[in-house]
Each structure stands twice: as C-alpha cells, then as structure tokens.
Chains A and B, each alone.
Chain A
C-alpha cells in the first residue's frame, strides 16, 4: 500500500503539535579526559552506579551518544562510552539521564538481530515494544526457585544421554578453538524448534561475518522464528561487549518471568572477560591474575546466577544458560576457565584430538559432567543411558591397556568391540539434532547388543537405515516413547522385534 506524501505530512504535523518536551532537570559535568572509550568527567556529584550519561553527539548530527557510569569518585565519574567517542573533547558537557541502562524486551524481539542496547541491526524496521528491563538485575532468590526437573533436549545423542541438561541449568561448553563449541550451541537452538523454548544467542567479540553466517544458518533451519541474536562484535566498543550478555539475559528473564522457557547462549565469555579487563585497566582499577580485575569472578557469577527454574507459584518459567569458554591449548586451569567451571552446573568438554580423529561432536564424555544429572532425564533415556555410560567407561579403561596386550580374553574383547561401536554411534553430523525418541531407539540398539555383529565402519549407516525403517514400518514405537517418555514392557518387546526384523533385512 502506498502512502501519499501529504498523509506523511499530516502524521508529522500531528506528532509535532502533540510533542511535549519537559524542561530538562539534570546534573551536568565536564569532560576532563577521553582515553580509548573511557571518559573522565568532573562533577556529576549525584550520578548513580550504572546510570546512562548523555554525551554530545558527533558533528554529523546523528544524535546524542550514551555512556555508562562505572566509576563514582569524590570529584567525578569514570564512564565507558557505548558508541563513537572520537568527537568528544575536554570541556564538553555531560548530562545524567536518571535512568540505568535498559533494553527492550518481549516477543517483538524474536527473530531479530539486535545490538547490546536492543537496537535493531537487521533491516526489519524498529522494534515495537513498550516493555523495558534494566540490564543489571539481581538474580531470583532461593524462595522463588525450584529444582531442575525438566530436560532441555539438545538433540545431540552424546549430550542428552550422558550429560543431560535441565531447564534452568547452567552448562558450560568449553574447548579450544575449532572444536565445535558454537556448533553444540547452534544444534541445541535448532532443536528447540516447536518446543516453545525461546532462544537467545549472544555473540561477544566475534567477527561480524561469523555472526551474519550464524544468523543465516539459523534462518535456513527455521530456527530464527524462536531466536533472538544479540550481537556485540569485535569492532564494537568494549562497553557494548561488556553489557551484551547482561542485555541478552534481561531479554531471557522477561520470558522466564512470564512463565515461559528460554535458553541463552553466551558465545563466548572469554572475550567478555577480555572486554571487561580492557575497561577495568583503562579505569585504572588494580589488575590481578592475568591482568583481570579483582571482580571478574563476580562479573560472571552474577550473570550466570540469573539463570533459574522458577517455582510454579512464580510462574514456573525457566532460563537455561549455555556459556561458552575458549581455552588455549587445552589449558582449563587458566583464570577465566576455572572461574566459570566453578560457577556452572557442569561442563561439556570438546577436544581437538577427538575432533581431528573424526569423532564429532568432539565431546570427551569421560570428563564432561552435568551436576544436575539424571534428574533432568526421561525414564526412557535413563533406561538406555545407564548402560551406555558403563560401556563407555569400561571402553576407556581398556582402550589404553589393550594397546600393549596382544592376547585378550573374550570379555575384554567384547567390551572393546562394544565401546568402538558406541563411539561410532555417538557421532552425529552438524545441524541434524535428533528427537529424543529417535535417540532412545538408536541407543537402545547399541546398548542391548544389536550392533555387536555389525562392522564398526557400518554403524553410522546402520543407524541411519534403522531410523528410516522405524519411521516407515513401526512409527507407533517412537510415538509410544514420545508419549510416555518411558519404555514399557510392550514397547520394549515391540522394539526388539522390530530390530530383529530390520537386521534380517539389513545387508550392509
């Protein structure tokens, strides 16, 4: 529909005549120094911590620039600027706004790509929402919470079976560069399609091209319909990278408080810590280990504490957090990795050795844990996962030992053979998350010995054919597992019969 120009004129006239600008009553200070995005201001006696400060805009007339009051001193304020600062000069005047940093929240954000202030970065127009939440909020208290008891299906066999994640949990994804950390997070987001879980992907300090690619990938798999991307790329000021995860968290909390389920991915907190280190050093705060400031633990603990599962009396919503940490050459005892490991409820370790050996996702199931554990697993999954965990543990113990032994007894060889097949079974291509019923069927076949006489290199093919066969010939079995979330006796018998039937016809 075309809008005529006189109609636009009418609208503008109406808005101008209805426009009321109250007299501004604020505090004013004077800039005394500008250094790499940190501005020192003389005055502003009554500024509050985290308050938004209004700086004069660039000469091109693109409007005021905002900053965050971080350092309150006796005779002035240190602020981090969230925007261009090259035009600012000593002597420029700065005003308080009386507001702390806040972002728009609500359904209008879903499907959008926004910056750390909630302003759109895509080409889909303004974000139509009146609701705002402050970026910094205190985490839910003990009374309002309840235990994690509902699984959040990642669609990844190795994770859902052995490192189950519950709604409201905080599970760390940790590993070197190029080990598939983001992949685990993206598969999880894609798998939330149709489950009502709103996903928020926060990109901190990444390349703009990477973020664009992720947005395109999520759109391609239909996952943008339930996803918000908050992007603070490497080119953006450290102040924006610093508040990005808090902004994303506020957006997630909105859904949690409304009784809905949300999932947030912080990719990654190593870069976040670096952005905060930059701000802190420029603010002349004393550096401690690895030059990070003393409160870098609190930086992440207060962020991750905001993930919660609320009690039914408080709406029963949840916010699950998947922070990502990049290690250097597998060093998990560096400062930031140890901090975040101790804050989270478990971690998924990804290793480059496994990745290069073709085991993808490259999850080291031996040292990956979920402290919430099987409380967040369905009965069906529990019935197959227990055996799987045992098989894998035995395999790991024997694998190293078996390299030296030439002559192995039969049970040892059986354990090794089983382990090799299970490792093969846990491989999964990217962007192909599996429904939980399919996972149960595949793992059932493995743990109950149906794979033992299949050659190792055929396992992947066997699994794929099996799942196709089940869909075509016995859809009722998966439906029953889905509906009851458990394998009852009838289902188990049906499943065994179906497996026998399939194996007879499977030529390999």
Chain B
C-alpha cells in the first residue's frame, strides 16, 4: 500500500510536468481519465492482473485497447502495464488532481451539515474559508444528520469540527 502510493506519486509527477510543458493541464487530465475508465472495466482489469499473460503481452493489449486514446496517456498506461503496475493507474489520476490543485491554488473542501444548505450559505462558507486559508476554495456539500448540527469542514488532512455532536461528546467527557 505504502509503496503503491509512492509509485503513483512519481508517475503522476512526470505526467503532470509534461502536461505543464504542453500547457494543457485539463486536456491531459481528460485523456488520463478516459484511459483509467477503459482499463477499469471489469474484464480488462481482470486480464491486466492475470499472471498467466506475460508482461509484454499486457503492454500490447493495453496499446490495442487504447488505440484511440491520446498518445501521452496511452503511453503512460502501456508503461505501467508492461511493468506490472497497471493497478496504480487510478492512484496516478488522484495524484495528478492533487498536483493540479496545488499548481492552480485550488483548495477542495468538503462541508458536512446536518440540514440542507442553500446556495447563499454555501457561498458565505466558501468566502470565509477563502479568507481564512487563502486560495480558491471549492466546496462540496454533504448532508449527514448524525452530526446533529453545526458544520464539519474537511480540507485534505485538516478537519475543522464545529459540530454539535463533537461538542456534546466534549461536554460528556468534562462532566464524567
């Protein structure tokens, strides 16, 4: 697991650097996304992980499947397949997104609320987060009644928890 992430990070870096040079970060992402979708189809994924198929065969298989794909994305997939690492491809996409976000200063925040949020409130949350954290904040809102009330905001590893549930737990601990 730990190894896979590092491998994915390395490939994503290389692919992203090339995309940067080509000045087409969204385009290269689309190409990669397409490749990942095709190779994640159940039949294809099984074949790619079948140890009975030799590695160079797998490379050819990938090349044939992706005949219509963009050359850089296709080559990346082929390279990974030939090295028996086709499984990390979805991780590469994930890492690519993270690199792209960091490059363009985008912060993705997940906002969890107990009640539905209207567009105006979401706008306000986004603005305050942008002020606090700096950068372009994009939010996705999720509803989870189990937090009782308040907000939980997650930005990557960081969590800002102002939920009623957590406060109740703290109160319980303080009174115990």
Q: List which A4-47 residues lie within 8 A (CB) of chain B.
A: 12, 15-16, 19, 21, 23-29, 32, 43-46
Q: List which A381-427 residues lie within 8 A (CB) of chain B.
A: none
Q: Which residue of B lies closest to A25 (CB)?
A: B160
Is B143 located at the chain interface by the 8 A CB criterion? no
Is B118 located at the chain interface by the 8 A CB criterion? no
Contact of A16 among B1, B156, B161, B171 (CB under 8 A): B171
What CA separation (Å) do A11 and B160 show in the bound complex? 31
Contact of A21 with B158 in the complex, beta carbons under 8 Å: no
Is A74 located at the chain interface by the 8 A CB criterion? yes
What CA separation (Å) do A95 and B157 show in the bound complex? 9
Is A285 located at the chain interface by the 8 A CB criterion? no
Contact of B175 among A15, A45, A73 (CB under 8 A): A15
Contact of A27 with B176 in the complex, beta carbons under 8 Å: no
Q: Which residue of B lies closest to A19 (CB)?
A: B171
Contact of A26 with B158 in the complex, beta carbons under 8 Å: yes
Q: Could you say which residues of chain A place their CB within 8 Å of the CB of B166?
A: 21, 24
What CA separation (Å) do A23 and B172 show in the bound complex? 16
What CA separation (Å) do A21 and B169 show in the bound complex? 10
What CA separation (Å) do A396 and B99 show in the bound complex? 77
Query: B160-176 vs A: 1/0 string, CB under 8 Å?
Result: 11100011011111111
Contact of A73 among B2, B154, B156 (CB under 8 A): B2
**Smallest CB separation, B29 vs chain A (Å):** 22
Among A29, A64, A75, A95, the one with the most B-chain Cβ atoms within 10 Å of its Cβ is A75
Contact of B159 with A28 in the complex, beta carbons under 8 Å: yes
Known: A63-B176, A75-B2, A75-B5. Is A25-B158 also a contact (CB below 8 A)? yes
Q: Which residue of B lies closest to A45 (CB)?
A: B157
Known: A63-B173, A75-B5, A75-B6. Is A23-B159 also a contact (CB below 8 A)? no
What CA separation (Å) do A19 and B1 show in the bound complex? 43
Q: Which residue of B lies closest to A32 (CB)?
A: B1
**Smallest CB separation, B105 vs chain A (Å):** 18
Q: Could you say which residues of chain B place their CB within 8 Å of the CB of A23?
A: 160-162
Contact of B171 with A21 in the complex, beta carbons under 8 Å: yes
**Smallest CB separation, B2 vs chain A (Å):** 6
Q: List which B130-176 residues lie within 8 A (CB) of chain A.
A: 154, 156-162, 166-167, 169-176
Q: Which residue of A lies closest to B150 (CB)?
A: A23
What CA separation (Å) do A63 and B172 show in the bound complex? 9
Q: Could you say which residues of chain B place their CB within 8 Å of the CB of A155?
A: none
Q: List which A36-81 residues lie within 8 A (CB) of chain B.
A: 43-46, 63-64, 73-76
Contact of B159 among A15, A27, A32, A75 (CB under 8 A): A27
**Smallest CB separation, A451 vs chain B (Å):** 63
What CA separation (Å) do A63 and B162 show in the bound complex? 19
What CA separation (Å) do A46 and B156 show in the bound complex? 12
**Smallest CB separation, B81 vs chain A (Å):** 24
Contact of A27 among B158, B167, B169, B172 (CB under 8 A): B158
Contact of B175 with A28 in the complex, beta carbons under 8 Å: no
Contact of B157 with A74 in the complex, beta carbons under 8 Å: no
Q: List which B32-73 residues lie within 8 A (CB) of chain A.
A: none
Contact of A24 with B160 in the complex, beta carbons under 8 Å: yes
What CA separation (Å) do A45 and B5 show in the bound complex? 14
Among A21, A46, A76, the one with the most B-chain Cβ atoms within 10 Å of its Cβ is A21
**Smallest CB separation, A79 vs chain B (Å):** 15
Contact of A24 among B159, B172, B176 (CB under 8 A): B159
Q: Could you say which residues of chain A place their CB within 8 Å of the CB of B154?
A: 28
**Smallest CB separation, A94 vs chain B (Å):** 10
Contact of B170 among A21, A26, A95 (CB under 8 A): A21
Q: Could you say which residues of chain A place their CB within 8 Å of the CB of B167?
A: 21
Contact of A44 with B162 in the complex, beta carbons under 8 Å: no
Contact of A28 with B158 in the complex, beta carbons under 8 Å: yes
What CA separation (Å) do A95 and B167 show in the bound complex? 15
Q: Could you say which residues of chain A place their CB within 8 Å of the CB of B169?
A: 63-64
Contact of B172 with A26 in the complex, beta carbons under 8 Å: no
Q: Could you say which residues of chain A place their CB within 8 Å of the CB of B161?
A: 23-26
Contact of A15 among B158, B170, B174 (CB under 8 A): B174
Q: Could you say which residues of chain B place their CB within 8 Å of the CB of A95?
A: 159
Q: Which residue of B lies closest to A18 (CB)?
A: B174
What CA separation (Å) do A95 and B169 show in the bound complex? 14
Q: Which residue of B lies closest to A74 (CB)?
A: B6
Contact of B157 with A46 in the complex, beta carbons under 8 Å: yes
Among A25, A44, A76, the one with the most B-chain Cβ atoms within 10 Å of its Cβ is A25
**Smallest CB separation, A23 vs chain B (Å):** 4
What CA separation (Å) do A32 and B1 show in the bound complex? 9
Q: Which residue of A lies closest to B171 (CB)?
A: A19
Q: Could you say which residues of chain B place their CB within 8 Å of the CB of A27?
A: 157-159
Q: List which A258-310 residues lie within 8 A (CB) of chain B.
A: none
Contact of B157 among A15, A19, A28 (CB under 8 A): A28
Interface residues, chain B, with chain A CB atoms under 8 Å away:
1-2, 5-6, 154, 156-162, 166-167, 169-176
Q: Which 3 A-B pairs have the closest CB atoms?
A: A24-B161, A28-B159, A21-B167
Interface residues, chain A, with chain B CB atoms under 8 Å away:
12, 15-16, 19, 21, 23-29, 32, 43-46, 63-64, 73-76, 95
Can you list 5 pairs linking A and B with CB atoms under 8 Å apart?
A25-B159, A27-B158, A27-B159, A28-B157, A28-B158
Q: A25-B160, A26-B158, A27-B158 are in contact. List 6 more A-B contacts (CB 8 A).
A: A26-B161, A27-B157, A28-B158, A29-B157, A45-B156, A63-B169
